[in-house]
Homo-oligomer: A and B are copies of this chain.
Amino acid sequence: MALTPIVAHRGSVTRWSQSLIPTLREAPAEAECPSHVLLLRAGFIRKLGAGIYDYLPLAWRTLRKVQQIVREEMDATGAQEISLPILVPIELYAGTRRDRDYGDLLFKLSDRKGALTALGPTHEESVTEAVAGSVSSYKQLPLSLYQITNKFRDEARPRSGLLRGREFIMKDAYSFHATVDGVGGLNETYDKMFTAYSNTFRRCGLSFTAVEAESGPIGGSASHEFMVNADSGEDTILKCPATGYAANVEKCEIGTRPHGTFQEPPSGELTEIHTPNLPGIHEVGKFIKVKPDRMLKTIVFQVNSSSESPVSEPPPSEPPAPAGDSTSLASPPIRWILAVVRGDHEVNEGKVRIVSGLKVTLADEKAARAAGFAIGYVSPRSVNTVPNTLLLIDADASLGGFWASGADKPDYHVKHFNWRREVGSKLDEPRYVKLGDLRNAREGDPSPRDPGAKLVTARGIEVGHIFKLGTKYSDAMGFKVHSAQQQQQPVIMGCYGIGVSRTMAASVEQNHDANGIIWPMPIAPYHVLITLMKPEAPEHQAAAKQLADELSSAGIDVLIDDRDERPGVKFKDADLVGIPIRITIGDKALAEKSVEYKLRKGDDKGSLVPITEAAQRCRDAIVAAMA
């Protein structure tokens, strides 16, 4: 037989007159995006400084509901909640050097003893320190830890209210593993986190897309972003309507495209044109009367020869190439990469890495000039003139026909560029020339998952990001555990973030109309708003109290608008703050032993419901909306 629970959860009942809900007619002029405007106007937040906001009672209620959903889903993965200090002693960054990498984004202070301390932007170092100090054997792994705390980034341009603030609420989780695969491995936890993130945003009542993302400078491993779908979003997502594949612009693959054979005949004689003082490809195109889609854009990258090793490095079990004798190898080392795309396309750095198999960054302009590249006027021909150069050509740029290009000397371009004629025999040497997918995807490109489908674009707001970190932090901080074979092995990590305050703002971006916010039921500050037409009338008060009691004993949160204001003001404010269910108590309905019941969402015109049935009606609507 089931035990009686030790506690029963009651919903909150709040009188508007006792709370602080300072609704405004107008938002300050600086507020632009819908969530910024509406959260200010509806009295959810108040600006205290640049990128710094007070969470007033309504905002805090919504934020706590988001936090609770996040917490439940994190707990379901087996992660344990902790709380790490906001203060992070600077010594912790000694191994990871993130204090330098973050640069001005990191808030730093000196304490009374002159010790330098950062305000944590995320807590990879702190959590690794804690686990490294407590765990020494593979038997104690896997371990997942998370926290929901204020984070700090000194943004150069804080903007869009809570979407890019300097102090914000984030859930950050970290997992620690002895293996990548199998039971207890990184991949198992990563998949659980993927599910938890999907559940979290679904339970928050949000329409979202999980997209494949670039994993950043650590290379190789997987990463997904969770985007709340919203036309006002900053990020572009590409989706395959046929398969559900979705990725961000940095990551999105493109399906098979036709490419050239380098045997196509020239379109005419190579002609040099003087093109001085033209700042960009569009200006050049206009001047020489060529559309960007018939021009070649050649971007120079440099190969990082430093401590960072190429992605294609052989696994550690194979003997590494002997050091210090690179000149004796059959292929000379590649130092430069030319990436060629069509003038109307954008080179994708991640794809340059993948196609080249090398760690690359955009070339330092001075060094590239010194090597012989006419930066701004480079053509693919440079592969023949600058030693140790690899030429990468995007499929669309490899086709035949007319092409314009830089002329490899300042202030000159050429017309009638022909691949075979201008580049010659190196085109046949895969050591020097590779053909592939080098550019950002865009709407209309073939889907990488279904040959017949075309990619479509959508806008989104990033609210979550999960990463397979690998050993980046454990290596940098010297965190190893004993393996089953009693050897020291590096610890493999994952990290998983959710922007909690950002999720609230993203929900408003997605769910609002001209009159105000429309909260999804699960994260609405209150489920039900009871508006008293005559707050001073005892029978109105009594009806409100009885209804609120019934609702709260079922765990339903109720806001009672008991203000001494005109009904017009109250209804406008009700639209603005966006509580999902609205009950109005007035003389007319009360005479029929009824109340008015109206949903904020859609075009509900409202209807009379017998007062004895009102609570049940609310409960049914809430349960349906939370399912």
Binding site for B on A (CB under 8 A): 2-9, 12, 14, 17-20, 22, 43, 46, 48-50, 52-57, 60-61, 63-64, 75, 78, 80-89, 92, 104, 107-109, 111-112, 115, 117, 119, 126, 129-131, 133-135, 139-140, 143-145, 149-150, 152, 154, 156, 166-167, 550-551, 553-556, 564, 615-616, 619, 622-623, 626
Contacts and interface: CB of A to CB of B under 8 A. Distances in A.
B130 A46 contact: yes
A60 B140 CA distance: 20
Given A57-B80, A80-B18, A48 B3 contact: no
12 contacts: A14-B80, A17-B140, A18-B78, A20-B143, A46-B130, A49-B89, A54-B84, A56-B130, A61-B81, A86-B167, A109-B119, A149-B150
B112 A109 contact: no
A148 B304 CA distance: 48
Contacts of A152: 86-87
Contact of A167 (B87, B129, B564): B87
Q: Which 6 A-B pairs have the closest CB atoms?
A: A22-B134, A109-B109, A3-B554, A57-B80, A55-B83, A49-B89
B20 A553 contact: no
A55 B82 contact: yes
Contacts of A20: 80, 82, 130-131, 134-135, 143, 145
Contacts of A48: 84-85, 87-89, 92, 126, 129-130
A18 B143 contact: yes
A8 B626 CA distance: 14
B81 A553 contact: no
Contacts of A6: 554-556, 619, 622-623, 626
Contacts of A55: 82-84
B111 A109 contact: no
Nearest to A61: B81
A587 B6 CA distance: 30
Nearest to A7: B555
* Copies held by the complex: 2
A517 B281 CA distance: 72
Which interface residue of A20, A50, A139 has the most chain B CB atoms within 10 A?
A20
Contacts of A63: 83
A92 B54 CA distance: 14
A82 B109 contact: no
A80 B19 contact: yes
Contact of A150 (B14, B150, B619): B150
Contacts of A140: 17
A107 B87 CA distance: 11
A166 B12 CA distance: 34
A17 B14 CA distance: 42
Contacts of A56: 82, 130
Contact of A46 (B49, B119, B133): B133
Nearest to A140: B17
Contacts of A49: 85, 87, 89, 115, 117
B111 A154 contact: yes
A2 B12 CA distance: 17
A85 B619 contact: no
A108 B167 CA distance: 15
Nearest to A501: B83
A555 B4 CA distance: 9
Which interface residue of A55, A78, A111, A556 has the most chain B CB atoms within 10 A?
A111
A193 to B, nearest CB: 15
Contact of A619 (B3, B78, B117, B167): B3
A132 to B, nearest CB: 11
A107 to B, nearest CB: 6
A42 to B, nearest CB: 13
Contacts of A61: 81
A257 to B, nearest CB: 44
A485 to B, nearest CB: 18
Contact of A109 (B46, B53, B107, B126): B107
Contacts of A86: 86, 150, 152, 167
Contacts of A556: 3, 6
A61 B75 CA distance: 12
Nearest to A49: B89
Contacts of A14: 80
Which interface residue of A3, A64, A140, A556 has the most chain B CB atoms within 10 A?
A3
Nearest to A131: B20
B54 A553 contact: no
A424 to B, nearest CB: 51
